[in-house]
């Protein structure tokens, strides 16, 4: 079974919306706007590219990332990696042709089936709505969280507000950086 890893930039109060400057959100760009940049805090991002064998995205994140990542040297490894987009509305003609093999999945059941295939870890970036659905369905195995010392209030959250049984996580790696950002890597305990 393949490991599904959710990788997110998250504020201390759980907001994941528009960390890189995406338009339409009041605090857009919060990961760099009011934060000192420390390259070492982003070391996990290079590791993710080396360790992952596929990428999973929701439609909104796919549309945002596919417009820029294919030509970015920082994300070169992702260009050759198979990508899976979970969407009920995206069509084949909505896929870009310069970012490698991309498959559209239509349901969480298809994500569960993908996890049953042979191969290495699957990394998921952004994709707040998809993250909430996958988490609630028990399909995420690991979380890579870069937690920023910010309270953003309103915004899309990493986790849903669904009333459910507690899900235990095991901290397997952590690091605190001089700017207050923290890396927390959690495995889901089954």
- As a whole number, mean pLDDT of residues 4-9 equals 98
How far is residue 33 from each of residues 21, 61, 129, 155, 177, measured CA to CA in Å? Answer: 9, 21, 24, 17, 17
The 10s digit of each residue's pLDDT in 47-66 is 999 999 999 999 999 999 99
| Predicted confidence (pLDDT) at residue 168 exceeds the cutoff of 90 | yes
Least confident of 17-21, 119-123, 147-151, 173-177: 17-21
Per-residue pLDDT at 81 = 96
| Predicted confidence (pLDDT) at residue 187 exceeds the cutoff of 90 | yes
CA 53 to chain centroid: 14
| Predicted confidence (pLDDT) at residue 155 exceeds the cutoff of 90 | yes
Least confident of 21-25, 133-137, 152-156, 178-182: 21-25
Measured N-to-C along each axis, helices 128-136 and 108-115 cross at an angle, to the nearest 10 degrees, of 70
Per-residue pLDDT at 56 = 98
The 10s digit of each residue's pLDDT in 87-134 is 999 999 999 999 999 999 999 999 999 999 999 999 999 999 999 999
Per-residue pLDDT at 34 = 79
Could you tell me which residues are beta bridge partners of residue 58?
86
- As a whole number, mean pLDDT of residues 174-179 equals 98
Reference 100, options 43, 39, 57; nearest CA is 57
Contacts of 42 by beta carbon, 8 Å cutoff, 6+ apart: 146
Per-residue pLDDT at 90 = 97
* Percent of the chain clearing pLDDT 90 (strictly above): 97
* Mean pLDDT for the chain overall: 96
């Amino acid at each position: 079974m393949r490991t599904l890893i959710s990788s997110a930039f998250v504020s201390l109060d759980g907001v994941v919306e528009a960390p890189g400057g995406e338009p339409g959100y009041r605090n857009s760009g919060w990961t760099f706007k009011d934060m000192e940049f420390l390259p070492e805090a982003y070391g996990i991002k290079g590791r993710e590219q080396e360790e992952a064998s596929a990428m999973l995205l929701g439609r909104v994140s796919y549309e945002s990332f596919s417009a820029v990542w294919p030509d970015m040297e920082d994300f070169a490894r992702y260009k050759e990696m198979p990508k899976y987009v979970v969407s009920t509305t995206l069509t084949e003609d909505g896929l870009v042709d310069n970012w490698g093999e991309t498959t559209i999945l239509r349901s969480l059941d298809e994500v569960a089936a993908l996890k049953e295939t042979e191969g290495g870890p699957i990394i998921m970036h952004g994709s707040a709505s998809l993250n909430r659905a996958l988490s609630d369905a028990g399909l995420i195995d690991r979380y890579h969280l870069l937690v920023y010392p910010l309270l953003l209030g309103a915004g899309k959250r990493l986790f849903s507000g669904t009333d459910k049984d507690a899900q235990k996580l095991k901290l397997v790696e952590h690091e605190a950086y001089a700017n207050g950002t923290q890396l927390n890597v959690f495995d889901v305990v089954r």
